[in-house]
Structure 1
Amino acid sequence: MNQDELQHYLNKYYYFYNFERCHSSLNTKTPFQTLQKFLNKVIFIILNNYFLYNYVY
């Protein structure tokens, strides 16, 4: 196996592990699903604070 083949298989596993495989420690969600949920919360907080700061005062 050469370096390019190895990289190809590592990339495939990385994709599977983070986007397809459910993790029991993440409540049977994928890491990507967990990240999406977290980012949605962060965006909501940022937007909320922006509107509060700019339109309430």
Structure 2
Amino acid sequence: MEIENGRKRTEHDNNGSQEKNIQRQRMKKLLLVSKEEFLKKSAGKVAVHYIQNFLQWLL
């Protein structure tokens, strides 16, 4: 058993920290997914903007 704040960690403490770690991992996954989607969308908007400018330049 690990010692934390001058006392031994109990099984209950370990379960609580495991749940927090799982929640933290879920949040990280959600943030990564939303970040990737955001980058894809913003990259698409930028590409459309450049294409529109190029077409206007041609005309």
TM-score (norm 2): 0.51
One-letter amino acid of the structure 1 residue matched with residue 21 of structure 2: Q
One-letter amino acid of the structure 2 residue matched with residue 49 of structure 1: S
Greater gyration radius? 2
- What 5-or-longer segments of structure 2 have no aligned partner? 45-59
Give the corresponding residue for 1:16.
9
CA RMSD of aligned residues (A): 2.7
Q: Residues of 1 paired with 2:21 and 2:5: CA distance? A: 21
As a proportion of its length, which structure holds more strand? 2
The CA deviation string for residues 6-56 of structure 1, in whole angstroms up to 9 with x for no partner, is xxx87132x504xxx137xxxxx6111011000000000111100000013
Q: Looking at both structures, which has the greater relative contact order when contacts are Cα pairs under 8 Å and sequence separation is at least 6?
A: 1
Determine whether 1:40 maps to 2:34. no
TM-score (norm 1): 0.53
Percent identity over the alignment? 8
One-letter amino acid of the structure 1 residue matched with residue 33 of structure 2: N
- Moved segments of 4+, more than 4 Å: none
